Amino acid sequence: MSKSRSDAYAASGVDITAGYESVQLMKKYVDKTITDGVLSDVGGFGGLFMPNISGMEEPILVSGTDGVGTKLKLAFISDKHDTIGIDAVAMCVNDIICSGAKPIFFLDYIACGKNFPEKIAEIVKGVSEGCRQSGAALIGGETAEMPGFYPEDEYDLAGFAVGIVDRKKIIDKSSVKDGDIIIALPSSGIHSNGFSLIRKIYGEKLLSDENLRNKLLTPTKIYVKPILSLIENVAVKGIAHITGGGFYENIPRALPKGLSAKISYEDVKKLPIFDEIMSAGEISRHDMFNTFNMGVGMIAIVSREEVDKSLEILKEAGEDAYVLGEVIKSDEGVILC
């Protein structure tokens, strides 16, 4: 590595040696995510993983990819970079768990205007924590220094996760029927969508109000372990991750054609931050529920007979879950009354 330095490339704004330093600094965080299936080390050209398929008749891989979006702007303003990686992991693993798949590995992509090794390591620290919470191994990634494309102090962060599930255990909403019950798993806050609207509402206040920024930067909650516990003990019929599009876009994705979710507005345990946003921006109720999770980060659909058991399992897993609504015959998707 001692000969790997280009003065010409450095003069253009790309420091190769900073990339090597970043890898060394992040390695201690990556090591915390290593699981039995990891066959590769950080720094190779590809991440190697051997999944455990014992007991599976037809193992199916399930993948998901996402980024953090404009929530990153708040991280830049606050110069706080050690939690935003949790969001990147959460947005991916929370999606693939909706199929009943257990996340097995994750890879990240960081593009920046200038590679500050300590900052990159802080970002990966958060990614590592997200992987630890979801049981996924961080088996690789990429840091791209792109001067002139991004400002020096800004970056973008995205990634993808891969999970595995036995084909016969895939949750595909096909068994959902009229009368089934919708269970809510509370969110930790805004999670990672709707921040363009939030920035429009609060504007310059975001620059001066550190408490508000910290509240908005609360990482996306990762639901992998409680959901895995639930599907191991209950016949879960459908799951939806409540992200961009809120209730109106995401809940119908867990419902077959001809069925809708009937939810009482008063039954939604909204977090105070959403009332604050609604008031500050003079946002309609419909637009709030069509943009934000409103305090519900994920929903699971079970038969009426298994509601009590489901709530108890989720409680044991640390979730303050509750009955949100029911499935009815309708083509409206979501009926919020």
CATH number (domain holding residue 106): 3.30.1330.10
E strand or H helix that includes residue 177: none
Q: What is the pLDDT of residue 1?
A: 44
The whole model's pTM is what?
Answer: 0.93
Same domain, 202 and 145: no
Same domain, 203 and 275: yes
In order, the DSSP letters of 4-38 are: ---HHHHHTT--HHHHHHHHHHHHHHHHTT--TTB
Radius of gyration (C-alpha) of the chain in whole angstroms: 21
Task: Answer whether 60's CB lies under 8 Å from 201's CB.
Answer: no
The alpha carbon of residue 82 and the mean position of all alpha carbons in its chain are separated, in whole angstroms, by 15
Same domain, 210 and 325: yes
The CA distance from 155 to 145, in Å, is 9
The CA distance from 138 to 9, in Å, is 29
The range of the structural domain enclosing residue 45 comes to: 7-169
Same domain, 128 and 195: no
Q: What is the pLDDT of residue 194?
A: 95
Q: What is the pLDDT of residue 45?
A: 82
The CA distance from 29 to 144, in Å, is 19
**SS3 (DSSP) at 52:** coil
Same domain, 17 and 161: yes
Q: Count of domains in the chain? A: 2
- Kindly list the averaged pLDDT for each block of 10 residues, start to end, along the chain of length 337: 61 67 82 88 81 95 97 97 98 98 97 95 97 96 94 96 98 96 98 96 95 96 98 97 96 97 96 96 97 98 98 97 98 94
Same domain, 142 and 87: yes
CATH number (domain holding residue 215): 3.90.650.10
